[in-house]
Structure 1
Amino acid sequence: MEELIAQLNRYNYEYYTLDTPTVSDKEYDVLYDELVQLERESGAILPGSPTQRVGGELLKGFSEHRHLARLWSLDKAQSVDDVRTWNQRVLKLVNDYNTKNPNTPLPQPSYVLELKYDGLTLNLTYTDGKLVQASTRGSGEVGEGILAQVKTIRSVPLTIPYQEGTIEVQGEGIMNLSVLAKYNETAVDPLKNARNAAAGALRNLNPKVTAERKLNAFFYNVGYSDTIGFQNHQEMVDFLRANHFKVNPYITFFDFIEDTIAELSNIVAQRDQLDYLIDGAVIKITDMRTREALGYTDKFPRWAVAFKFEAEETTTVLESVSWEVGRTGKITPVARVEAVELAGVTVQNCTLNNIGDIERKNLKYALGSRVFIRRSNDVIPEILGKATEDNDGEEIVFPTACPACGSSLEQRGAHLFCNNRLGCKPQLIGRITHFASRDAMDIESFSVMTAEQLYDEVGVRDPADLYSLTFDQLIGLDRFGEKKANKLLEALEKSKACDLSSFLFALGIPNTGKTTTKALADHFGSLDKLMAATADELITLQDVGAIVADSILTFFADPRMQTSIRTMIELGVSPTAAAVTNEPKQETIFTGKTVVLTGTLPTLSRDEAAKKLEAVGAKVTGSVSKKTDFVIAGESAGSKLTKAQQLGIRIIDSEEELLQMLGEA
């Protein structure tokens, strides 16, 4: 049993803390079931057993827990000027101390920058290496004991290698956004946001409910120890990692405050790419002796400050819902809300995704009610759910006819669709605009306004109609002078010589994106062969399953699509697949290696850089792991660069170096 516990806990640590599993779920389950059987037969449960993570009994209430060391709040900085003001106070205090203590001066301040999580603070107590208590922050001196709930978090170690005395470790209980989304897919009562979901789960008296939320946790501080001390923050972080605590890869160290401040903008830029909520960043002095000398006010440590981001979540009133028609005929609800300031902008419109989303979030009777909304960067804000539990608003009435053309709507899954593909104006304009977009036919200077004007004034109803446009037609249009007319005609002529994958993407085949259309082009090599393909041939491709194959077959079987494609070919459009050669690829240092691109290069787009790397046999992926061989880091590279530095991955930080390694410079 001891061997099984050690083995299972190691697998747990690799899976939940390191994110690098070494066995399959099936192999883990076999060992877990063996341990359960042994515990049942022996009647004994040993310390640290993973079978004890989820208790079977409903708790009667929370007991108070007095922390061994106080958990402090943090002073807040609302701007970079506030950060500089805080730093000036630090420098003054350090100088004052050094004047009074010339024989034992403090070092020049250096700084550590960490993410500020938006979850629930956890304080864990370990005695002789065993988790004996877990509590909330509470007043900072007294919290609520939530040991049974915290044990359900798989990234929390039940035992640790350090077994000398008692320590308290602080962290944050969170719910990953991807986990929240998956939970809400089947939840009877969907959760409104990740922060409330984590806090509600950890303060739920039924640990089984907590376990169902599949929470996570990051750890960042040792608040108390009766046996060990640290000289600096780096030593403490190393201690946490060595004792199997999950430490966020984003921890950066700086010698100067201005470098620290500069990094704050990178965190803001990367914020929407994270799979968990953060509401700011924390700046701390790294040297522990300096922390001790600076001390505390009544509320805050003088050696740390929290830089708060502008709010990305708030509440407002849902005023109305309108319905918009997309290029595929999908009907999307758009909510109008009472104007509210959020993340630096005034928000009045929010997305609702589809009618299934409205019902799942209990918004069917929410008109006039207060709702939660979230905004991430420049993305249109999303309504998360009602702020009240009652059906205290008016009903959102789902349409039965297309708001644009009046055709009857069809419900497919959670979405409504207008099937009038040839007579519904928004669909036609959307299809033409998509066809001309940069990742498709790349028709320069073409916009949705151009598509609308050509639809209204020239009668363009299909992408093929673009290639029949004449100078006389264009010159007679409002805002179309001779220069603009010639420029559009030249762009249309240039687009005729296109690669097959871009042409397929431009057609807008349902359920296919750039990756799938490239795979189709590479595999079939010509438009005719693809159009003649069978379902059995299609599903042999890695990116094509039964649903995608059916979408492709249905699309090319449509007589209207066949006519459109044939007309474009007759008018000179010539989609050509990239040449396939049996010659070996040029060998470079990247051949057979895994590469991640992050940030912005001076002249190469990310797609262009990826194509160059793939051309020499590299595998370009989107995330950094221990299997990554190179990270290409351009300007404004963020968390991927940080993780690469921590993992010791080779970093190429200039376009010139990249091209030299590719043999192009």
Structure 2
Amino acid sequence: MPDALETMQALIEEISKHNYHYYTLDEPTISDAEWDALYAKLMELEAETGVVLPHSPTQRIGGELLKGFEPHKHLARLWSLDKAQNHEDLMAWHTRAQKLVNDYNAKHPDEPLPPLSFVVELKFDGLTLNLTYDGGELVQAATRGNGQVGEGILAQVKTIKSVPLRIPYTEGILEVQGEGIMNLSVLEKYNETAAEPLKNARNAAAGALRNLNPKVTAERRLNAYFYNVGYSDNVQFRDHREMVEFLRANQFRVSPLVEFLDSIESVEEELQRIASMRNTFDFLIDGLVVKINDMRTREVLGYTDKFPRWAVAYKFEAEEAVTTLLGVQWNVGRTGKVTPLARVEPVDIAGVTVQNCTLNNMDDIARKNLTHALGSLIYIRRSNDVIPEILGKVTEDADGQEITAPSVCPSCGHTLELRGAHLFCPNRLDCRPQLVGRIAHFASRDAMDIETFSEKTAEQLYDELSVRDPSDLYDLKFDDLVKLDRFGTKKAENLLAALEKSKTPDLASFLFALGIPNTGKTTTKELADHYRSLDKLMEATAEELMTLPDIGGIVADSIVRFFQDPAMRRSIERMLAAGVTPIAEEAPAAVDESNPFFGKTVVLTGTLTTMSRDDAAKRLEKLGAKVTGSVSKKTDIVIAGESAGSKLTKAQEFGIRIIDDEQELIRLLGE
């Protein structure tokens, strides 16, 4: 057995080496027949010994059908990117970044940031992947999800042969981000024999990676490119060039186009050059990414609530096409708004087949000269990932059939009301799409976060169990659920468990889940932070509400009317009676200025075992500390966990106070 295991290990290393040259470098080192012989020998030994090593290439082929996707919490947040679509947007981003650098340098003349330099990369149009390596072994792969929690898709990602199952870097935990794609040539070849041809490469890749059968993923022959190390408990980089070299050295497939430039003018020239050749690549890209090269500058610039300040996505100009307007369908949303959706003759734009286009209302239809356009040729435009819009008719003639607005709700038949430019169905208590939409919104991730719930679930519960209001969800019984089509014992148990788990939401999420008109997540968070009590908010007057920042008269009136509505109050009372208990965060306590962290600049490095670094940072900030990402002479304290690296070394060189005993940290935090 030991000899067989050694032989298997040697075969794995040899096959992995040849795979790296073939799939990552596009430089085959042996013939297909020679590779097949090595692979067959490995499979033979695995069958004889009954042992399959975790990084064996035989594990890429896809195993059993999976039961579902498990949530995976990323070690570091995966950020979205702010967008620039023209010269003005790009220069505005650059001006903001330069101002932040200038401000920092004025305050830190001893340690100024370097002049801005940039990197330009392709923005792949596929599915974001976040891979986790521990000790060099691939242990998890996940989708982006909401940036903090994604779905585990390790079995699917293992089928991508350009993804290394083992890497040379073995000194700790690593998260690497990239994009799973389907090459256009592969899509074309796949469709030659496919029973159901795939529409476009982006959906083909995303659908394959989110398919519960990894064998389907393997059949799509996906590829992956990597561009970022999102988390490491050890390795650090001076700039993006070092990071790219690290990725290459660890056998990741890096973008074929990574350009380093010293001025924003050079960046703009490069953007125009690459945009002109976008259709020459064997994969879809939907833009380019511009990043500041220097890592210390990135730390100083930091992040907004949504985006890093040190990067921007330069989106390509929208693409246009001509097609025929076939019809207009009127749809009802959860707020009762009735909006038109145009159906057009299918047309391909940038690799995507377009069949539907947005129209806002009858004013929009008239403004675009579409009142008599059914059956006529029209211009449509697809911009980035947005649903395409109609720009107008090809001719000025009224040569088509007339588009007319409905007078009654297309779902429930109730007479519609015109409010401003939009039509609304006022029958909010007995109009199916409104009620289904309200229930689905209530259960969504940013609201009550009821796992396993979807809009299809809401429709099924509405149709078969007469669920008409979110409060009805908490009356569901196992015996009723288990009888439903596609529901079995496990799904029924999972839904009931998820409903039970949802009963202790934070107040902001509960308010968002209620679907108060004219309020979003930002407003409901502001309401929760100010009132910290559902009862107090429900009794608030419009005048009180308007004293809060960003809440004007229309929003204040919407909130008051919502909580005065007997149906809404009845719904809330039923939820509370069922055990739903919204929890308000405690008001921040006055900071004790005598605590050892008050007014101190603190840096966290390494891995903490009793809490995450994010938790530690929040606790320190509550005590009046300023938590930063880099060590300088102005740093007062460095908290060093396990596997602390260069930040600890720098702190020692500067003679900065170091706390490397976690129990001591807990004591100082007052816990």
Larger Cα-atom Rg: 1
Calculate the TM-score normalised by the size of structure 1: 0.49
Calculate the TM-score normalised by the size of structure 2: 0.48
